[in-house]
Amino acid sequence: TLLTKPDWASLTLGVFVCQACSLLHRSIPHISRVKAVHETWDGGEVELMAAMGNGAAKAKYEQKVPAFYYRPTHSDCKMLREQWIRAKYERNEFEFIEKQDTSLNLCSGYREGFLWKRGRDNGQFLSRKFVLSEREGALKYFNKQDARDPKAVMKIETLNATFQPAKIGNPCGLQITYLKDNSTRNIFVYHSDAKEMVDWFNAIRAARFHYLQVAFPGASDEELVPKLTRNFMKEGFMEKTGPKHTEGFKKRWFTMDDRRLMYFKDPLDAYARGEVFIGSKENSYTVLSGLPPTTQGHHWNHGITIVTPDRKFLFACETEAEQRDWIAAFQRVINRPMRPQEYAVEAHFKHKP
């Protein structure tokens, strides 16, 4: 983490840390002893910090971090940040390549194991076998341990994974999405072992990295790494009405995933009730604050109108702050020119009313 005025330091590791990370360092006291910067320091402690420092520690503890490996930021969930700290300082995974998970090995491209998966219809989490194979270009899961045929085949090409502990109700909760018939499908999983879950996440990133290296042979690592996995731009409840704008408004859970705005009856639904493609301003997409004056049937007062080449979409937010955040998210997407491949997505897009 880039620190301007750090409040804490790890005396044993010789690094300065922010307050949030200091709490995580406290959870590994056998590795890291934390002290506040404003406390009284003796000469030996000062010498230790001067001898190491964040730059030298990074060179030592992060010397063999694979390009695809996710480096958490302050905004990531606690579990992801804690496992990064443990991987660096407790397990020394990036000093000694043999200490890394074998499925993250560049030559492996294969991982299998069991994850708790949420049932689509009953909401129960059941143990399911998952297999990630770069050779087959897919992540698969099986409903029965001895089943020959997978229940689902998720192509690495459209695979995404994002940690969602609050939504899933588990600190290791991971939401996996993929495209099926050009519609988004959600799968919610977790594992009781945090390291195992982070290894699965990075194995998915490794598979995506190697797929993109083949798909874009001239691209640098710096260009490919941001495309491996992505967090959603925004999520939350809004009200929406149908295409005629005469139907009553219904409360729905919305997810903004790049240019796809999806809405669900429940945040943990497997399939979206509908998806809206959000293009760019050059292609006649705009977002407006408020609703047309004749609009009726909404319980929430803070309206948003999205104008597309085909129709207008009307939404209502519960608070002004939510309205402001959603408009900002839409505006970021609309202000960004469309890439060539996004025109193909727009052409194939099917939104349900």
pLDDT in tens, 293-321: 988 888 999 999 999 998 999 999 999 99
Over residues 59-65, mean pLDDT:
90
Confidence at residue 352, expressed as pLDDT on a 0 to 100 scale = 44
pLDDT averaged over every residue in the chain = 90
> Residue 208 is which amino acid?
R
pLDDT in tens, 88-129: 988 988 987 666 665 555 456 899 999 999 998 888 999 999
Confidence at residue 49, expressed as pLDDT on a 0 to 100 scale = 86
**φ, ψ for residue 160, nearest 5 deg:** -140, 155
Q: Which of 139, 137, 162 is nearest to 152 (CA)?
A: 139
The band of 353, judged by pLDDT with boundaries at 50, 70 and 90, is: very low
Q: Which of 336, 339, 347 is nearest to 280 (CA)?
A: 336
Q: Return the minimum-mean-pLDDT range out of 135-139, 216-220, 346-350.
A: 346-350
Distance between CA atoms of residues 100 and 202, nearest Å: 11
Residue 198 clears pLDDT 90, i.e. is over it: yes
Over residues 62-73, mean pLDDT:
92
Radius of gyration of the chain (CA): 23
Higher-pLDDT residue of 121, 286: 286
**φ, ψ for residue 31, nearest 5 deg:** -110, -40
Distance between CA atoms of residues 265 and 273, nearest Å: 7
304-308 LR contacts (CB < 8 Å, sep 24+): 304/238, 304/330, 306/261, 306/276, 306/278, 306/330, 308/276, 308/277, 308/278, 308/279, 308/284
Distance between CA atoms of residues 79 and 271, nearest Å: 27
> What is the torsion angle, in degrees rounded to the nearest 10, for the CA atoms of residue 42, residue 45, residue 50 and residue 53?
-140
DSSP H or E stretch at residue 32: none
Q: Which domains does the chain have, with CATH numbers?
A: 8-98 (1.10.220.150), 105-227 (2.30.29.30), 234-351 (2.30.29.30)
Distance between CA atoms of residues 228 and 161, nearest Å: 9
* Start-end of H helices in 160-299: 165-168, 194-215, 221-224
Strand, coil or helix: 92: coil
pLDDT in tens, 12-25: 888 898 888 888 88
Residue 220, CA distances (Å) to 2, 46, 67, 131 in order = 24, 41, 11, 28
Confidence at residue 39, expressed as pLDDT on a 0 to 100 scale = 86
Q: What are the structure tokens assigned to 127, written together?
A: 């143990």
Beta strand 234-240 pairing with 250-257 = antiparallel
Are 332 and 233 in contact by the 8 Å Cβ rule? The answer is: yes
Residue 36 clears pLDDT 80, i.e. is over it: yes
DSSP H or E stretch at residue 133: strand 125-133
Burial of 195 (0-12, 13-18, 19+ CB in 10 A): middle
pLDDT in tens, 149-188: 999 999 999 999 999 999 999 999 999 999 988 889 999 9
Give percent of the chain with pLDDT exceeding 70: 94
Are 138 and 156 in contact by the 8 Å Cβ rule? The answer is: yes
Concatenated DSSP letters of 165-188: HHHHTSTT-EEEEEEETTEEEEEE
Place of tokens 């695979």: 159
Higher-pLDDT residue of 7, 316: 316
End-to-end distance of the chain based on CA atoms, in angstroms?
44
Burial of 85 (0-12, 13-18, 19+ CB in 10 A): buried
Distance between CA atoms of residues 165 and 77, nearest Å: 8
Distance between CA atoms of residues 109 and 203, nearest Å: 8
Over residues 28-44, mean pLDDT:
87
Place of tokens 């006291």: 29
Q: Please give the angle made by the CA atoms of 305, 262 and 163, to the nearest 5 degrees.
A: 125
Q: For the whole model, what pTM was predicted?
A: 0.90
